[in-house]
């Protein structure tokens, strides 16, 4: 589990990181705590590596001395992350109670007031870990001479060409020998994946539009929609968003 501690005050950042380490030790949990001195520093790292599970965010953060640009605060950071990540658990940490309403916009798990109480933080981290256990689903994909663990939520779609299957994910593409039917069976009854063509299985999480002949993804990718599959795909798409299936 990777936990980011984002706070511009070194003493607060170190204190919270120490509490996280204590929590992990008490729960016998494998945790990598990554500290960041600003929202900008976190977003720079996040643009290259989105594999974070929990964010402990200070709300009011100042910029670096002499910095001309206004610093990004914790709420703005949370909104930026939520644009493409609805799984990561966010906990706001603040010395001011006036910002609580803003947390509803980004589905914040909880607010903690400074100075952070050890038992309250432990309780919130327990809840966050439980939520992650429910939300996260993983699969192993062949890559090179080994295997790579990938979150199912980060798979856009899979397609076959001849005897090869290519799985397109937000972290790159994986190509290996497998039929689309075998891949579908391996996934099992996972909500959100639907066969839109005999050679294509798509994750509805990334679908922005369905036409009579195509399935269009958020990134502009256009996938074929088989006439025989159109009704089932449309129904699955409607059900996915009406029922909030993850």
Query: What string of DSSP letters covers 180-227?
Result: HHHHHHHH-S-TTEEEEETTEEEEGGGEEEE-SSEEEETTS-EEE--G
- Cβ atoms of 216 and 207 within 8 Å: the answer is yes
Which residues are CB-neighbours of 113 under 8 A, at least 6 positions away?
93, 94, 95, 97
How sure is the predictor about 95, in pLDDT bands with cuts at 50, 70 and 90? confident
- Spacing of C-alpha 132 from chain mean position: 10
Whether 46 has a pLDDT exceeding 70, the answer reads yes
> What share of the chain in percent tops pLDDT 90?
48
Dist CA 232 CA 183 (whole Å): 19
Q: Decide the pairing of beta strands 2-6 and 54-58.
A: parallel
Q: Tell me which of 76-80, 98-102, 129-133 is least confident.
A: 98-102
Which residues are CB-neighbours of 181 under 8 A, at least 6 positions away?
none
Which token pair is 203?
Answer: 């994750």
Q: Is the pLDDT higher at 117 or at 97? A: 117
Q: Is the pLDDT higher at 13 or at 188? A: 13
What does pLDDT average to over the chain?
85
Tell me the angle at which helices 10-26 and 118-135 cross, rounded to the nearest 10 degrees: 60
pTM (global) more than 0.75: no
Instruction: Identify the structural domains of the chain with CATH numbers, from first to last.
Output: 2-135 (3.40.50.2300), 138-243 (2.40.50.1020)
Q: Decide the pairing of beta strands 222-224 and 214-217.
A: antiparallel
> What share of the chain in percent tops pLDDT 70?
86
How sure is the predictor about 4, in pLDDT bands with cuts at 50, 70 and 90? very high
Report the pLDDT averaged over residues 82-105: 74
């Amino acid at each position: 589990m990777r936990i980011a501690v984002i706070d511009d005050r070194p003493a607060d950042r170190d204190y919270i990181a120490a509490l996280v380490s204590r929590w992990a030790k008490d729960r016998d949990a494998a945790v990598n705590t990554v500290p960041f001195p600003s929202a900008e520093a976190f977003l720079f790292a996040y643009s290259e590596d989105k594999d974070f599970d929990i964010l402990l965010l200070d709300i009011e953060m100042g910029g670096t001395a002499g910095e001309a640009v206004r610093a990004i605060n914790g709420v703005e950071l949370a909104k930026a992350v939520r644009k493409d990540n609805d799984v990561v658990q966010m906990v706001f940490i603040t010395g001011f109670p006036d910002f609580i309403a803003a947390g509803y916009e980004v589905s914040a798990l909880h607010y903690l007031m400074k100075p952070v109480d050890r038992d309250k933080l432990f309780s919130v981290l327990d809840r966050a870990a439980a939520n992650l256990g429910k939300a996260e689903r993983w699969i192993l994909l062949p890559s090179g001479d080994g295997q790579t663990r990938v979150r199912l939520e980060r798979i856009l779609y899979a397609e076959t060409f001849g005897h090869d299957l290519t799985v397109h994910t937000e972290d790159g593409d994986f190509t290996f020998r497998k039929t689309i039917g075998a891949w579908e069976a391996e996934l099992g009854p996972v909500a959100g994946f639907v066969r839109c063509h005999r050679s294509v299985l798509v994750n509805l999480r990334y679908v922005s539009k369905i036409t009579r002949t195509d399935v269009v993804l958020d990134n502009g990718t256009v996938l074929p929609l088989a006439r025989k599959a159109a009704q089932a795909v449309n129904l699955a798409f409607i059900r996915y968003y009406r029922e909030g299936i993850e």
